[in-house]
Structure 1
Amino acid sequence: MSLPEDYMLPCLNKKLLGFECMGCGIQRGLSLFFQGEFVAAFKMYPAIYTLIPLALLILSTFVFKFKYANKIINALAIASVLIIIISFIIKKTN
């Protein structure tokens, strides 16, 4: 039986330069999230919990119109970027 990790794209930054990028872990985090491993998904990629609602909201705005959608999208995008940067710095310093 093959694992989901067998079908994931490799990080070119890690392969070519030898160190992880800010996106390393997002595929594994999504896989863990959809397997119901919510704590493990957070530990793998903390921004997963802002990126999923952000993606769902962006996709839903193509079908439905929300009054404050742009403000919510902006807030989730800023939160996601901050979480990605902070978790990357923490990962590099540990």
Structure 2
Amino acid sequence: MLLSTDLDKYMLPCYSKRVLGMDCPGCGLQRSVAFLLEGEFVQAFYMYPAIYPMLLFFGFVLVNIFVEFKYATKIISILGIATVALVLINYFLKFV
């Protein structure tokens, strides 16, 4: 996989994969962000399906610092649970 902006030169290696020989739950996140930066939104999803709920989660938390929402705690909880669930589902599906 070649990224047109050569971002792959600056990516951190996965030590779980290097030492244990198996992916970690975060494998693919860096490449997914690189695809997002290049405008390849579908490829970003295929690389790491939890990227969009994760962006929503961090985006909402950041906005909530400056603007208070009535149900912020519930929204943050739901987005956090959805993100963790998608990370774990993606991780387990890699082994199937």
Q: Compute the TM-score of the two structures, normalised by the length of structure 1.
A: 0.91
Aligned length: 93
Aligned-residue offset at 1:87? 1.1
Matched, 1:34 2:48: no
RMSD value over aligned CA atoms? Answer: 1.4
CA deviation after TM superposition for structure 1 residue 2, in Å? 6.2
Unpaired stretches in structure 1, ≥5 consecutive residues: none
User: Percent of counterpart pairs with the same letter?
Assistant: 43
Matched residue, 1:13: 16
* Runs of 4+ with deviation above 2 angstroms: none
Q: 1:70 corresponds to which residue?
A: 73
Q: Which residue of 2 aligns with 1:43?
A: 46
Give unmatched runs, 5+ long, in structure 2. Answer: none
1:82 matched to 2:76: no
TM-score by length of 2: 0.90
CA deviations 1:20-73 (Å, max 9, x no partner) are 100000111111112111110010000001000101111122211111111111
